[in-house]
Amino acid sequence: MQSKKEYNNYFHRQIQLWGEQTQESLQTKTIVIIGAGGLGSSIAFSLGASGIGNIHVVDFDEINTHNIHRQIAFKIGDEGKNKAEVNVEVIKQRCPFTNAIAHKCDFLQWCEKNIEVDLIIDATDNLKTRADINEYAKKTTTPWVYGSVEAFHGQVAFIDKASFLDIFKIQDNKPDGVATPIVLHVASLQSNLALRFLANLSVKKDLLYYLFFNKDGELITQKFNLPT
């Protein structure tokens, strides 16, 4: 059992940012991260040490060597291990104030467990699962943070009233390659939106951020209101 002094020392810089009451309120929050790969491991790494009370991590997939360069929770020797379980272990090693739970299953199987959460974070890599997240979020009136990344561009949105199915056509496609920095960038934006919401700070909802590097290497960020 950690003492109050140890707790305040661990979260010193965040307490400087928003005070003890807000920091302690995070202990009452529960989130689920769907997907524990590139985006998911980066989100788990940052939010796992923020003081959120309960973090569920969902992924049925096992680590491959080609995952490791952009999925920051993993290292050489982790091949064959379940991604959710490794992420949960990393959270536990870094933060004694967060209860992290791994689920070796897909999203629909996790839904059957009827676990109540304050926020869903999408860290998947396919539109079909995002459509399932959208349906579940609407059914349970749970907000969710969407994120996707490919090549040198990414998309992020805090989805509340909008419907994912009204925005994106669900289809199968082979994604382009991706490098580590853009994955970290998009995951950072998702984590910031999530943490602001959980800390009861203002968040612009149903607004899609689209960011990319143009042919000259300039970072461009565009914003689009989502239909509600």
**Partners of 22 in the beta sheet?**
none
> What angle, 0 to 180 degrees and rounded to 10, lies between the N-to-C axes of helices 38-47 and 180-198?
40
pTM of the model: 0.95
Give me the half-sphere count of Cα atoms (radius 13 Å) on the Cβ side of residue 191. 21
Q: Are 164 and 147 in contact (CB under 8 A)?
A: no
Q: What are the φ and ψ backbone dihedral angles of 182, each rounded to 5 degrees?
A: -70, -30
What is the reported pLDDT for 12? 97
> Domains of the chain: which residue ranges?
4-225
For residue 63, CA distances in Å to 33, 82, 83, 92, 186 come to 17, 6, 6, 19, 21
Mean pLDDT of 148-177: 80
Give the burial class of 207: count Cβ atoms within 10 A of its Cβ; 0-12 exposed, 13-18 middle, 19 or more buried: middle
pLDDT > 50? residue 170:
no
Q: What are the φ and ψ backbone dihedral angles of 159, each rounded to 5 degrees?
A: -100, 125
Question: Which has the higher per-residue pLDDT, 157 or 125?
Answer: 157
CATH for 4-225 is 3.40.50.720
The predicted-structure confidence for 134-159, as pLDDT tens digits, reads as follows 999 999 999 999 999 988 999 999 99
What is the reported pLDDT for 179? 85
What is the reported pLDDT for 186? 97
pLDDT > 90? residue 166:
no
The predicted-structure confidence for 52-85, as pLDDT tens digits, reads as follows 999 999 999 999 999 999 999 999 999 999 999 9
What is the reported pLDDT for 222? 95
Judged by average pLDDT, the poorest of 21-25, 101-105, 172-176 is 172-176
Beginning with the edge strand found earlier in the chain, give each strand of the sheet holding 153-159 in spatial order: 99-103, 54-58, 30-34, 119-122, 144-150, 153-159, 207-213, 219-225
